[in-house]
Chains A and B, each alone.
Chain A
Amino acid sequence: MSITMLLKKEIEAKPAGVFCPDYFKARALNDNSSLSAAEKRGEACFSLFAFSPAFIYKNDLIVGSRRPMFVDLPDKELKECTEICAETGERCFLTNNDHFAPDYAYILNRGIPGVIEDIDNSIAAYSSQNGEKRIVNLLSMKKAMQGLLRMIGKHIDLAEQLKGAEGYNKSNLDFIIGNLTTLLHGVPDGFASALQLVWLCHTCFGYEGRYAMALGRIDQYLWDFFNKSVSSGEITENEAITLLENVFIKIYEKRAFGDGDDVVNICIGGSNENGESCVNQLSYSVLKAVKNCNVPGPNLSARISDSTPDEFLDECLVSIGTGLGYPALMNDGANIPALSRYGYDKKDVYNYCMVGCIENFIPGKQPPWSDGRFDTPRFFEYLFNNGKGILNGKTSGIDTGNVGEISSMPDFLKRFERQIADGVKKYVDNFNRVNTPENPEDLTSPFLSCFAKECIQSGLDINCGGAKYSSVHGAALMGVGTVCDALAAIEKTVYIDRSLTLDEIREALLCNFEGKENLRQTLLNAPKYGNNDDLVDKYSKWFVEFHFKEFSKYKTRDGGPFYILMAANTSNISAGKLIAATPDGREAGEPLSDAASPTYGRDKSGVTATLQSVAKPDYTLVAGGTVVNQKFLPTMFSGENRKKLLALIKVYFKLGGQEIQINSTSPEILKDAMNHPENYKNLVVRVSGFSAFYVTLDRDVQLDILSRTQQAV
């Protein structure tokens, strides 16, 4: 068994107690009750990093575990700690707490002592200009960094103690001690110590209770270290991969401990400002390491540009084809022009990565990300029901008149736009209210601020003007397929065929098509998004343009933009449950279409048609990011077929598609397709001279395919 899999086994032994960083923070907050809020938060970080126990797995090569945060004490004692911490307050996702990509390049370049030196220089500069508040911030940042040094010292001591302990290997412990000692005194001197530094920082973010902290462009900021260590023969490429695995497998800790995934986005590839490919040997090593780990948690993204070598894209497909589903493929050709709209420096734009699932982010240059869901199909309710919800009867929209009066498609669309515009305004007002804490300066993030060097230069917290750019908020638009299908159905049935009236449709929506199956079938027979048919696809272009225009009217609390995203992250299911029947023939409570994809099962003209439809909107208006899911049987990932898949993706990206997440259908997916064929109507089985939809096959033939898939995995 590889050291990585041995480590995985160790990780899978769940720790006793509960995850309670508050236990370590509370002692600092209790002891220092006379300090200012910012000072307290620096002390709390210090206490958290310095006084929590060290932990080293038997198979660790790079240390940093969540395990020390598990405290096995009586509830009463922990509750007191939690109450003490609650008094000082904490940010959350909607107030820019996590979903951040740190500037690891800066930390690696300076080392911890260097960062502290930079902080000291900044303190000295502000001392002469009455910058008391800034100095307090800087001192709290320094305190956090000192906590990190203590954490390193603690791990060195533990490694020494563990020599000779059962199951521990002395040379591995020496390796760890060597790397940590380097970090204690200066800058990393090679790939191993650089990776160790990055992972310790990430571990600390976890201690602070943050999640979805990205590792970002690891193949770029670690490249010099990797190149030096490998070309000097200090380590082999395979050893470097093992080290990466030692880190990536620990991302799995959060899930193994029963606490959900630590959605850690890792970004490889991309192009630089000169249009040259950034793919290097480390990009391939990261791909291999993630593939070898085969655990949920590391969210691997690959930036693909015109200059990306086919060989790299092909390697991505190999990884996807193992059933892992990663990397998600991101098109630089859409993302870079999208981000360039916001006045960011060119070099920053080209250095973008992702946080969370797919959200575009400029590492270390902006406050942590936030987003929310915007369920556009809801506005059909208000349009058809004079501003009132059909299901809940509440007046949540505006009265745009009786639909029976609407005489043309442009008029219909205009009134729909008024409903959406009103919804956008309410969404933004609501978000800005939630996003603006009463005393933002009491909620500083001293440790996080060290990963944005402008915060150190300015002495300002990352959320209080320290970051280079303002905060952005993403509105994730849901139901593009539902909306396009609904608008096309109205255009076709009411204005082209004149087979239905808006009053008839209204009545049908109000009663959820009860007794009106024929009318519903008429709506279902109209053109559907995902079949490369402009009659319906033109509405997807409108959808993106209109939402972009509306959201662009508003600013976040610190003057940043509202991005749009074409993503839903399964909220399309929960949102759908609350939304009445829609004019596309969808019944009340059914899911909305997923992310930027057509409604499941309605794209029946083949994947080339689906992708051409999906690529039609202008994604350079979608700065937040997009999700398009496609499933293929495992046979698509081998031999000649994989070349065809590669060509498919290249064309999709040339056409302006923003993202694609490809899944090789695992046995689980195929079983699910047998039980829920309605969700898999477009899954195609391809053989020579023949093709069929998987769901129409005989059950025993489906089982044949299933068993072949199991053998391949």
Chain B
Amino acid sequence: MTLNVSNIQHFSTGDGDGIRTTVFLKGCNLRCPWCHNPETISPKPQILNFKAVNEQIAYGKSMTVDEIVADITKDELFYDESGGGVTISGGEAMLQSDGCAALSKELQKKDISVIMDTAGCVPFGEFEKVRPFVDKFYYDFKTPDKEKYEKVIKGNFDLIQSNLEKLIRLGSSVNVRIPLIPGFNTSNEDIEKFKALLLSLKVKEIDLLPFHRLGASKYEAMGKQYLYRDTPVLSKNEINSIFDAFSQNFSVRIET
């Protein structure tokens, strides 16, 4: 069993509890225009050329489950000490649900915790494959607005909504992650809609991920244009007021 891996990142600190290794898988079925990992969208291998520093970084290679496990287990002592583990992210990791299931199963055998980071736009059957081996889902929920979702992100809103609802109903541990994108989902109206929808889905934990422009240079290195190149980041006050609004109903963290 092989996976199409974009890159493996050790000592990840923003992808869950403790010291984690994040396995970024390559290939995505959504087209969020603010995406900070544009190199993970295409399933094909790519070389990013950071001209200013004369640095070429290759993304994308086929790795067997064993190879990935061998790389991950090098940091086992760090996971044990910190209560960390592995986060499988992307791209859309769930597009490789069979590989993810096989990988998670091996990690479960080694008592290494697995978080599955997904935007959820796959048939629920894919979730069934990984559910037994995954400790937690990080479920990206980008907007409560069906029309906006389908127009901007090019996904199936009903599907991601029903998948989230099923995961919660079946007792999976789920953190809903909301990327806070200026001008897209941060108005008072957006937040109120979000709250109403997430409450109805019985969501309890929410992580807020404020927009940043760190990915800009990747677009340049890919010879692409970044539509969010000049979008200003949210101010501390804006982030705090959104945090306060969600805190009335949910347990909320701001991930930076």
Contacts and interface: CB of A to CB of B under 8 A. Distances in A.
Given A696-B217, A701-B216, A689 B37 contact: yes
A464 interface: no
Interface in B1-60: 9-15, 18-19, 22, 36-37, 50, 52-53, 55, 57
B81 A651 contact: yes
B170 interface: no
Contacts of A699: 52
Interface in B105-146: 117
Interface stretch (A377-385, A617-625, A636-644): A636-644
A651 B77 contact: yes
Contacts of B92: none
A242 interface: no
Contacts of A608: 10-11, 19, 74-75, 78
A605 interface: yes
A532 B215 CA distance: 28
A685 B213 CA distance: 12
A73 interface: no
Interface in B183-229: 207, 209, 212-218, 220-221
B12 A696 contact: no
A654 B76 CA distance: 13
Interface string A637-680: 00011011001101100110000000000000000000001100
Contacts of A650: 81
B81 A609 contact: no
Interface residues of A, number: 39
Contact of A641 (B13, B37, B81, B209): B13
A687 B214 contact: yes
Contacts of A34: none
Interface in A689-703: 689-693, 695-699, 701
B68 to A, nearest CB: 14
B77 A696 contact: no
B233 interface: yes
B77 A607 contact: no
Contacts of A697: 214, 216-217
Contacts of B78: 608, 647-648, 651
A635 interface: yes
Contacts of B36: 689-690
A688 B14 contact: yes
Interface in B65-100: 74-75, 77-78, 81-82, 84, 89
A651 B82 CA distance: 9
Contacts of A644: 11, 13, 18-19, 82, 84
Nearest to A636: B13
User: Which has the most chain B C-beta neighbours within 10 Å: A605, A635, A690, A696?
Assistant: A690
Interface in A587-632: 605-609, 612
User: Which has the most chain B C-beta neighbours within 10 Å: A608, A686, A691?
Assistant: A691
B256 interface: yes
A24 to B, nearest CB: 56
Contact of A606 (B9, B50, B55, B218): B9
A273 interface: no
Contacts of B255: 687-688
Contact residues of B: prevailing secondary structure = mixed
Contacts of A698: 213, 216-217, 220
A712 B84 CA distance: 27
Contact of A686 (B14, B18, B177): B14
A689 B19 contact: no
A8 B188 CA distance: 51
B10 A689 contact: no
A291 B217 CA distance: 37
Contact of B10 (A605, A677, A688, A704): A605
Contacts of B75: 608
B11 A607 contact: yes
User: Which has the most chain B C-beta neighbours within 10 Å: A655, A678, A693, A701?
Assistant: A701
B53 A677 contact: yes
A704 B217 CA distance: 14
A605 B15 CA distance: 18
A606 B12 CA distance: 9
A691 B12 contact: yes
Contacts of B15: 688-689
A691 B11 CA distance: 10
A685 B215 CA distance: 11
A474 B221 CA distance: 48
A641 B81 CA distance: 14
Interface string A431-459: 00000000000000000000000000000
B19 A647 contact: yes
User: Which has the most chain B C-beta neighbours within 10 Å: A640, A641, A692, A699?
Assistant: A692
A689 B14 contact: yes
Contacts of A655: 77
Nearest to A692: B214
A609 B57 contact: no
Contacts of B207: 688
Nearest to B24: A689
A72 to B, nearest CB: 52
Interface string A219-262: 00000000000000000000000000000000000000000000
A141 B239 CA distance: 68
Nearest to A646: B82
A378 to B, nearest CB: 29
A699 B50 CA distance: 12
Given A689-B209, A692-B214, A648 B233 contact: no
A641 B82 CA distance: 11
Nearest to B90: A689
A609 B82 contact: no
User: Which has the most chain B C-beta neighbours within 10 Å: A647, A648, A650?
Assistant: A647
A635 B11 CA distance: 14
Interface string A95-124: 000000000000000000000000000000
B9 to A, nearest CB: 5
Contact of A689 (B50, B82, B89): B89
B21 to A, nearest CB: 8
Contacts of A636: 13
Contacts of B9: 606, 691
Nearest to A605: B10
Contacts of B77: 651, 654-655
B58 to A, nearest CB: 12
A647 B217 CA distance: 32
A655 B57 CA distance: 31
Contacts of A532: 74
Contacts of A654: 77, 81
A635 B256 contact: yes
Contacts of A640: 13
Contacts of B53: 677-678, 695-696
A643 B52 CA distance: 35
Interface string A522-534: 0000000000100
Given A612-B74, A647-B82, A690-B214, A695 B55 contact: yes
A141 to B, nearest CB: 51
A681 B50 CA distance: 12
A173 B12 CA distance: 55
A686 B82 CA distance: 17
Contacts of A696: 50, 53, 55, 57, 217, 221
A654 B207 CA distance: 33
Contacts of B233: 704
A703 B255 CA distance: 21
A687 B256 contact: yes
Given A648-B19, A691-B12, 6 more contacts: A650-B81, A686-B13, A686-B14, A689-B14, A689-B22, A704-B233
The 7 closest A-B pairs by CB, nearest first: A606-B10, A647-B82, A688-B14, A688-B255, A647-B81, A696-B50, A698-B217
16 contacts: A605-B10, A606-B9, A606-B11, A608-B19, A608-B78, A640-B13, A644-B11, A644-B13, A647-B18, A651-B77, A687-B212, A688-B14, A689-B36, A691-B22, A697-B217, A698-B220
